[in-house]
């Protein structure tokens, strides 16, 4: 029921390209369209045999379509369809309308409900409190046959509709009429979409398959009579309206004559748009969300989506695997490069180590020579200073170097002059050469009495102490 609330508009999917396929006799016709916000442009048209696979780059739903959305459409042959126009109160949204239609399917459908696939499309309606709906039904087995045919050539469709829908939805008659839109099925028969347009409403629509001869003319008349009788009972038809034919070139003469006899208001003819025009209109309305008829079974659509998602995961895993392999390759290449670099570095280090060792050995030799030079001069300085500072009465018995820097002094002194040893010790502590102390340290003297002898009747003592040289060149 209509309310004062504003209807919610469904969020439209943004598509980047669109395909439409139609089977006719033993051929498959494929139209490819580029989609932008402003327009839908046909890019190519291909004709394939039923057994020839389609170009996958053009029709497949792969990982690229995650970023570049693609819509695949297909036309189901009209002989599989059953049409019915239904008027009902306007509803809040499409789901509410769907629920109301489900209650009427049992009495509308020519086959059991569990064996059909159905959808609907809103038709032009002059009354805002009402809505006019085109109900489209097809047997599930027929739809499965079409899907199997599409899958055999590598085409996964998103939407199943029919070619006559665009002309029916977009038709605006100048006056009341019954419109017969037909197209040849083969050389001897044709499919006719017959719709009744009265007072701005589409009151009835049906599909008829008829031969293109007098038998076809009679079949059309019978259909017109049945629909007119039903319209009179329902109250929307007062008299036989004008007949408008839409088809390629001219209609069969028998059809024209039969229509003139049936309608007192005359017969008109319109050239049918080319299939390319109908395909473009279908793509335009579908990508803009204006065409809502879709006989695609929900379970099959979920299967396609799952296959698409699985394909994305598989492609992602392959991509990650390739990245991993590439990274491992780079890692091992880097390790080999580092190994080579380390070898070069080791060679360079060994070369520098040898040079350093040679340098250190040379430095050691220089130190030894320098030490020898310093010791040479230190020995001379110490001997000179020891001699100069020694008091009278003291005698030097020995002068020895130990450990390269220790000078051991030993001598004699009369016992009554041992005080000179202490003076001598203090003199050596203060001894300087070139203003610098000669000795680093001087040990305390050791004095021991030696007694007398025939040679030395005077009482004497032995003294000794150690002097550590200061090596000024190596401070």
- The DSSP-derived string for 203-266 is EEEEEEEEESSHHHHHHHHHHHHHHHHHHHHHTS-SS--EEEEEESS---HHHHHHHHHH-TT-
Distance CA 180, CA 255 (A): 11
User: Does some domain include residue 465?
Assistant: yes
User: What local confidence, expressed as pLDDT, does residue 458 receive?
Assistant: 66
Q: 8-17, 69-78, 86-95, 285-294: which has the minimum mean pLDDT? A: 8-17
Q: Tokens standing for 214?
A: 């007098």
Burial 132-167 (b: 16+ CB within 10 A, else e): bbbbbbbbeebbeebbeebeebebbbbbbbbbbbbb
Mark whether 138 and 234 lie in a shared domain.
yes
Number of domains present in the structure of the chain:
2
In a domain, 437, yes or no: yes
Task: Please answer whether residues 462 and 394 qualify as being in contact, where contact means their C-beta atoms are separated by less than 8 angstroms.
Answer: no
Task: State the pLDDT at residue 372.
Answer: 56
Of 296, 319, 337, the last residue of a domain is 296
- The pLDDT tens digits of the residues spanning 226-270 come to 999 999 999 999 888 999 998 887 778 888 899 999 998 889 888
| 228, 253 contact by CB (below 8 A) | no
pLDDT at 204: 94
Question: Quick one: pLDDT at residue 225?
Answer: 93
User: Which of 271, 296, 321 is where one domain is finished?
Assistant: 296
Inside any domain, residue 313 = no
Residue that terminates a domain, selected from 296, 316, 331:
296
199 pLDDT exceeds 80? Answer: yes
Domain presence at residue 210: yes
Residue 88 confidence (pLDDT) above 60: yes
Gap between the Cα atoms of 356 and 475, Å rounded: 24
User: Using the 8-state DSSP alphabet, how is residue 86 labeled?
Assistant: E
Please report whether residue 208 resides in a domain. yes
- The pLDDT score that the predictor gives to residue 4 is 43
- Residues 123-128: contacts with CB under 8 Å, at least 24 apart: 123/85, 123/168, 123/169, 123/202, 124/169, 124/172, 124/200, 124/201, 124/202, 125/201, 126/199, 126/200, 126/201, 128/2, 128/90
Q: Are residues 266 and 383 in the same domain?
A: no
pLDDT confidence tier of residue 12, bands split at 50, 70 and 90: low
Residue 278 has pLDDT above 80, yes or no: yes
6 pLDDT more than 60:
no
| Per-residue pLDDT tens over the stretch 150-160 | 888 888 899 99
Does residue 181 lie in a domain region?
A: yes
Distance CA 311, CA 63 (A): 7
Whose structure tokens read 């085109």? 134
Q: What is the pLDDT of residue 294?
A: 92
- 283 with 408, same domain: the answer is no
**At 339, phi and psi to the nearest 5?**
-60, -45
Percent of the chain with pLDDT over 70: 86
Over residues 303-308, the mean pLDDT reads 76
Give percent above pLDDT 90 in the chain. 26
Instruction: Tell me: pLDDT of 373 over 60.
Output: no
CA–CA gap between residue 71 and residue 155 (Å, rounded): 11
Nearest to 467 by CA among 389, 387, 409, 395: 409
> Residue 312 above 60 pLDDT?
no
Residues 178, 281 within the same domain: yes
185 pLDDT tier (thresholds 50, 70, 90):
confident
**135 — pLDDT class (breaks 50, 70, 90):** very high
Is residue 346 a part of any domain in this protein? no
Residue 172 sits in which domain range? 19-296
Please give the pLDDT value at position 475: 38
**Is residue 138 over pLDDT 90?**
yes
Q: Is residue 413's pLDDT more than 80?
A: yes
Q: What does the pLDDT average to over 124-152? A: 91
With respect to residue 307, please indicate whether it lies within any of the assigned structural domains. no
**pLDDT confidence of residue 395:** 84
In a 3-state reduction of DSSP, which class is residue 341? helix
Higher pLDDT, 352 or 395: 395
Pair 34, 168 in one domain: yes
For 179, residues 6+ apart whose C-beta sits below 8 A from its C-beta are 171, 173, 193, 194, 195, 196, 197, 244, 246
Query: Are 288 and 385 in a shared domain?
Result: no
Question: Can you give the CATH number for the domain in which 431 is found?
Answer: 3.30.1360
d(CA 241, CA 379): 147
* CB-CB contact of 244 with 177 (8 Å): yes
First-to-final CA distance of the chain? 112
Q: Which residue has the higher pLDDT, 431 or 361?
A: 431
Helices 253-262 and 214-234 cross at an angle (nearest 10°) of: 30
Residues 406 and 276 reside in one and the same domain: no
Q: In terms of DSSP bridges, do strands 177-184 and 242-247 run parallel, antiparallel, or are they unpaired?
A: parallel
* Distance in angstroms (rounded) separating the CA atoms of residues 273 and 258: 24
Q: Which pLDDT score, from 0 to 100, does residue 457 have?
A: 66
User: Is residue 270 domain-shared with residue 390, that is, in the same domain?
Assistant: no
Bigger pLDDT: 232 or 312?
A: 232
HSE toward the beta carbon, residue 288, CA cutoff 13 A: 12
Averaged pLDDT, 365-391: 69
Whether residues 56 and 186 share a domain: the answer is yes
d(CA 95, CA 250): 43
Higher-confidence residue of 222 and 174: namely: 222
Tokens of 138: 């097809």
Mean pLDDT of 286-313: 81
Query: Whole-model pTM?
Result: 0.63
Q: What is the mean pLDDT of residues 371-378?
A: 56
Q: What is the mean pLDDT of residues 84-101?
A: 90
pLDDT average, residue stretch 335-352? 80
What pLDDT is stored for residue 1 in this prediction? 38
């Amino acid at each position: 029921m209509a309310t004062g609330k504003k209807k919610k508009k469904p969020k439209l999917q943004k598509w980047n390209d669109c395909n439409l396929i139609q089977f006719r006799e033993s051929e498959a016709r494929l139209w490819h369209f580029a989609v932008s916000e402003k327009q839908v442009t046909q890019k190519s048209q291909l004709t394939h045999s039923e057994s020839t696979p389609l170009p996958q780059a053009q029709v497949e739903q792969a990982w690229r379509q995650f970023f570049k959305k693609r819509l695949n459409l297909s036309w189901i042959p009209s002989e599989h369809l059953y049409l019915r126009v239904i008027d009902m109160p306007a509803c809040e949204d499409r789901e509410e309308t769907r629920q109301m239609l489900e209650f009427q399917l049992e009495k509308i459908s020519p086959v059991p409900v569990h064996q059909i696939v159905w959808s609907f499309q809103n038709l032009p309606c002059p009354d805002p409190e009402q809505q006019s709906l085109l109900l489209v039904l097809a047997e599930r087995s027929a739809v499965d046959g079409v899907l199997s045919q599409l899958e055999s050539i590598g085409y996964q469709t998103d939407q199943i509709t029919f070619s006559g829908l665009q002309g029916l939805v977009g038709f605006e008659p100048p006056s009341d009429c019954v419109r017969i839109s037909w197209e040849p099925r083969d050389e001897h028969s044709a499919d006719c979409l017959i719709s009744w347009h009265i007072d701005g409403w589409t009151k009835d629509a049906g599909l008829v398959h008829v031969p293109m001869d007098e038998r076809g003319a009679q079949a059309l008349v019978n259909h017109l009579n049945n629909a007119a009788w039903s319209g009179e009972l329902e109250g929307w038809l007062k008299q036989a309206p004008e007949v408008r034919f839409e088809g390629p070139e001219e209609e069969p003469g028998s059809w024209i004559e039969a229509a003139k006899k049936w309608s007192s208001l005359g017969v008109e003819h319109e050239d049918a748009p080319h299939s390319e025009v109908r395909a473009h209109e279908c793509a335009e309305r579908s990508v803009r969300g204006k065409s809502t008829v879709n006989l695609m079974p929900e379970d099959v659509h979920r299967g396609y989506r799952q296959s698409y998602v699985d394909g994305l995961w598989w492609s992602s895993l392959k991509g990650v695997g390739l990245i991993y392999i590439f990274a491992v390759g780079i890692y091992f290449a880097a390790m080999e490069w580092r190994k080579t670099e380390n070898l070069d570095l080791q060679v360079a280090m060994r070369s520098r180590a040898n040079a350093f060792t040679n340098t250190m050995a040379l430095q050691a030799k220089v130190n030894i020579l320098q030490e020898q030079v310093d010791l040479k001069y230190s020995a001379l300085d110490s001997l000179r200073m020891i001699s100069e500072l020694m008091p009278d009465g003291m005698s030097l018995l020995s002068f020895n170097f130990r450990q390269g820097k220790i000078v051991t002094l030993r001598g004699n002194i009369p016992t009554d002059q041992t005080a000179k040893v202490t003076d001598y010790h203090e003199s050596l502590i203060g001894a300087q050469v070139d203003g610098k102390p000669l000795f680093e340290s001087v040990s305390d003297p050791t004095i021991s009495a030696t007694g007398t002898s025939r040679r030395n009747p005077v009482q004497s003592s032995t003294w000794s102490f150690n002097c550590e040289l200061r090596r000024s060149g190596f401070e």
